[in-house]
Structure 1
Amino acid sequence: MALEILPGPALASRTTLRLGGPALAEVVLETPEDAEALAGTLEKLGGAPLVLGGGSNLLARDGELPLVLVRPRLAAEPVILRQRHGQQVRVRVGAGVKLQRLVAWLATQGLAGLAGLIGVPGTVGGAVAGNAGSYGDATGDRLARVRLWTPEGGLVWVGRDDLDIGYRRFAPRGVTGLFLVLEAEFDCAVREPIAIRQDMIAHLKKKRASQPITAATAGCVFKNPPGEAAWRMLAEAGFAGKRLGNMAFSELHANFLVNLGGGTSDAALDLIGTAQGAVRELCGHELELEVKVVP
């Protein structure tokens, strides 16, 4: 089975923060079964594999990167499975489908549970792998099972009981290395479509007023400490609008790092480190990264 391989893709063109130098190659999967040839392909290409969805939670370094990008472009549209659990309906969708496509489709079907994710970029696979959440909804709260690939186990469906899911955390139990999310199934509650759409409109209006959702960002830089809001601590430390070169923390939401155009990863990392130190000194909290720095 021959996989599509693209030479030298730039991470700056693959990530929403628009940072990152060229990787060694990019391997594209069109179907779950393509993953069966992945182990051999990665071995031939060398470099460390980096699974890439929509690139919305990554801060990639500049310069040549010893990485091989793995992109599951699995675009199987969402479908309702004939499995009903009380007032819940199970939906299956491919990992390469845009998260916003799924959120909008669920609303038209009168299926609730992920409406809070309106406006969150990226793919379904990336959202599952990061347990994306917003306005009280998270992928992990509705996730029933996932179809995974690992080099050791190959293709397998894994149920919720065998997944470690928490705040911005997702991992199949017993797997410590590479894994790919290929398909996901969600259990969604039945609700009137108009009520779901009204919630989505309200959420999106609030996001547009409080987050730089049209800017080049990677989403939230830091996780929220228990009982605290990272953006509030950053603002109190004077980092709302704080700029270094062409990288800056947003004035709208101090936990969003923005590439103003021509920014560099060095500037981004320096700004992040300075912010962590300032918050530690002011509030006594050690801010933990939510964005993933690669490599």
Structure 2
Amino acid sequence: MALEIRPGPVLADRTTLRLGGRALAEIVFARPEEAEGLGQALESCGGAPFILGRGSNVLADDGERPLVVVSPRLRGEPVILRQRPEAGIRVRVGAGVKLQRLVAWLATQGLSGLGGLVGVPGTVGGAVAGNAGSYGDDLGAVLARVRIWSPQTGLAWVGREGFSTAYRRFTLTGVAGFFVVLEAELDLAVREPIELRQEMVRHLTDKKASQPITAATAGCVFKNPPGASAWRLLAEAGFRGKRVGGVGFSEKHANFLVNYGGGTGREALSLLAAAREAVRERSGLELELEVRVAP
């Protein structure tokens, strides 16, 4: 399939929070090399680029959005590139692969490093770009190389010297603004598959007990400030279970925003603004968004 420009999707249909209006257009491609045409395609569409995988960490406003959705559908099976346990097993995976598919596949191969991310939705590309993490595991700790496209670099492989990672953050050296993650190479350790599966079952059981993972949510909406927990700050400020219209913070986990049905992007943005102000006034701490807001 060649790079294709399609009519703009309704973002409420493409995000797990089920909110958002219609984008201008969508650019779809299924092979890394096809990203070479992104510059020309974006110029012809005339809107701000917005990468969208499975929409699990996205909050979009209502109405007509001046966005061009970029959809890298780079799937297929992960591939083992190197099998030297003393140096780590290197695996290559496409950005469009579901993160949970990768986590499950790694467990069957006896490869550890991402088991803590069991139950985290989304795609590999989004997990790399946001340095997704859970239970002590994160993408940045195992990421060896990443293939990207950006207006500055074109199509390029970038090694550890060309990027940095931190808590929920991935930064490319010398690349400002828009870039697309196409493929990732991971260095992983060897471990007994049964141990990995048992550990993952425990993690998933804990998450089901403490997070509304079956609801229409975008996951955690705020990052944890240094030395504090966003969910605790929100609960102490009175936002556990607080709603505006059809959108509210979960009773189970105060940092999860839930669309209870009929919610709007405007309601969600209003609630987040009120929560940040309340936490700032009560604790003096500034909550930083973890969810991506579509402009």
Q: TM-score, normalised by structure 1?
A: 0.98
Name the structure 2 match of 1:90: 90
2:170 is the counterpart of 1:170: yes
Q: Which residue of 1 aligns with 2:232?
A: 232
Give yes or no for the alignment of 1:139 onto 2:139.
yes
How many residues were matched structurally? 295
Instruction: Letter of the 1:80 partner, please give it.
Output: I
In the alignment, the residues of structure 2 paired with residue 114 and residue 80 of structure 1 have an alpha-carbon distance, to the nearest angstrom, of 15
CA–CA distance in structure 2, aligned partners of residues 119 and 165 of structure 1: 22
Q: Distance in 2 between matches of 1:62 and 1:237?
A: 27
Equivalent residue of 1:38, what SS?
A: helix
Letter in 2 for 1:92: R
Alignment partner, residue 106 of structure 2:
106
Q: What one-letter code is carried by the residue in structure 2 that aligns with 1:212?
A: P
**In 2: Cα distance, 1:289 partner to 1:6 partner:** 30
Query: 2:5 — aligned with what?
Result: 5
1:93-242 equivalent positions in 2, closer than 5 A = 93-242=93-242
Q: Is the 8 A contact 1:87 1:190 kept in 2?
A: no
Preserved CA contact (<8 Å) 1:165 1:171: yes
Query: Unpaired runs of 5+ in structure 2?
Result: none
Q: Is the 8 A contact 2:2 2:30 kept in 1?
A: no
| Aligned-residue RMSD, C-alpha | 1.2
Q: Secondary structure at the match of 2:41?
A: helix
Out of 242-251 and 84-93, give the one that drifted further: 84-93
- 1:276 matched to 2:276? The reply is yes
Task: Return the letter of the residue paired with 2:122.
Answer: G
Q: CA deviation at 1:83?
A: 5.0
CA distance in 2, matches of 1:136, 1:24: 39
**Hey, what does 2:45 align to over in structure 1?**
45
Work out whether residues 152 and 175 of structure 2, in 8 Å CA contact, stay in contact via their aligned partners in 1: no
Report the identity percentage.
Answer: 70
SS in structure 1 opposite 2:226? coil
Moved over 6 A (4+): none
- Report the more deviating stretch, 102-111 or 82-91: 82-91
1:149, 1:182 → 2: CA distance? 7
Distance 1:84 1:219 in 2: 36
**Whole-angstrom distance in 2 between the partners of 1:108 and 1:20:** 37
Deviations 1:39-71 (A, max 9, x none): 111111111111112211111010000110001
CA-CA distance at 1:8 after TM superposition: 2.2
The aligned amino acid for 1:166 is A
